[in-house]
């Protein structure tokens, strides 16, 4: 996660119990059903009456309304401007998505998250005031490519574009060596945060701890140093 995203998520109200989702395509429905499953109130809207009826029938929302979100008056009447957080889940209709995002921001909603379907769409959404833009197809594709090219990396938390915390399988070359033997800080500039043992992680392991191939370890450092590990 990059720093602007972090500050956006930190700005969200922790006690917020309600969300509005505009657009009931696959992405919007997935957001709705997950929020609803977690016990949050979800108001969904879509221009397509059939999609609204389906969402109500499938009980993935608390309320759903058929409105054209390019109309500010319709959004106001639906109460969208009263929400703290609104998700604009219209990926394939760029014009509608951009106008909707603009309307919702002009209506005074403090936190607007919008789905983009291309780089240009992403730029436009930011220009009209989206507080956070997601690009799920790009993000999922990039995550898959990273997993395919580095299968030993189990999880990766990007602190910023250059630095990460990474959970990885202990390389064969580290098998039987102690943390002191490995000298990860001197040789690679990395800090070892945790190693797994019997299915649990030991945090801040002792320098005398021996690593075993096939178990997991968590390191923090810059990406170019992480890439120098024998994985």
Cβ-proximal residue to ligand ATP, closest one: 25
C-beta of 114: minimal distance to ligand ATP in Å?
Answer: 10
* Cα angle 168, 173, 175; round to 5: 80
Closest to ligand ATP by CB, 52 vs 218, is 52
Q: How far apart are CA 183 and CA 204, in angstroms?
A: 15
For residue 118, the minimal CB distance to ligand ATP (Å) is 11
Are 52 and 70 spatial neighbours (Cβ–Cβ below 8 Å)? no
Least separation in angstroms between CB 46 and ligand ATP: 5
Residue closer to ligand ATP by CB (options 47, 190) is 47
111/121 with CB nearer ligand ATP: 121
Tell me whether residue 22 or residue 229 sits nearer to ligand ATP (CB atom). Answer: 22
Q: How far is the CB of 81 from ligand ATP (least distance, A)?
A: 15
Binding site for ligand ATP (CB under 6 A): 22-28, 46-48, 51, 68-70, 89-93, 96, 115
**Residues present in the chain in total:** 231
Question: Could you tell me the smallest distance in angstroms from the CB atom of residue 146 to ligand ATP?
Answer: 22
Return the sign of the alpha-carbon dihedral for residues 96, 97, 98, 99: positive
Nearest to 131 by CA among 145, 117, 110: 110
Query: Which of 3, 120 has the CB closer to ligand ATP?
Result: 120
Q: Are 134 and 113 in contact (CB under 8 A)?
A: yes
CB 8 within 8 A of CB 164: no
Closest approach, Cβ 66 to ligand ATP, in A, equals: 8
Q: Which is nearer to ligand ATP, 139 or 155 (CB)?
A: 139
Cβ at position 231, least distance to ligand ATP in Å:
34
For the record, the structure tokens of 125 come out as 């959404």
Please state at what angle helix 94-106 crosses helix 119-127, rounded to 10 degrees: 20
Q: Please, which residue, 107 or 171, has the CB nearer to ligand ATP?
A: 107
Query: Residue 20's closest CA among 103, 105, 89, 70?
Result: 89
- Asked whether the CA dihedral 202, 203, 207, 211 is positive or negative, the reply is positive
């Amino acid at each position: 996660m990059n720093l602007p995203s972090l500050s956006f998520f930190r700005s969200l109200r922790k006690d917020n119990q309600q969300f509005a989702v505009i657009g009931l395509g696959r992405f919007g429905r997935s957001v709705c059903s997950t929020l609803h499953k977690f016990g949050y109130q979800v108001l969904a809207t879509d221009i397509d009456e059939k999609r609204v009826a389906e969402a109500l029938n499938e009980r993935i929302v608390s309320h759903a309304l058929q409105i054209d979100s390019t109309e500010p008056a319709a959004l106001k009447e639906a109460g969208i401007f009263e929400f703290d957080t609104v998700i604009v889940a219209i990926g394939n209709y760029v014009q509608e998505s951009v106008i909707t995002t603009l309307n919702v921001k002009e209506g005074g909603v403090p936190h607007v998250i919008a789905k983009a379907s291309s780089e240009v769409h992403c730029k436009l959404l930011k220009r009209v005031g989206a507080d956070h833009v997601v690009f799920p197809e790009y993000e999922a594709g990039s995550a898959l490519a990273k997993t395919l090219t580095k299968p030993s990396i189990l999880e990766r938390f990007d602190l910023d574009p250059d630095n990460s915390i990474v959970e990885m399988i202990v390389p064969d070359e580290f098998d039987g060596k102690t943390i002191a033997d490995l000298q990860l800080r001197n040789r690679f500039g990395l800090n070892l945060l945790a190693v797994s043992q019997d299915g649990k992680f030991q945090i801040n392991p002792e320098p005398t701890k021996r690593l075993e191939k096939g178990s997991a370890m968590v390191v923090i450092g810059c990406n170019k140093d992480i890439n120098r590990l024998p994985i």
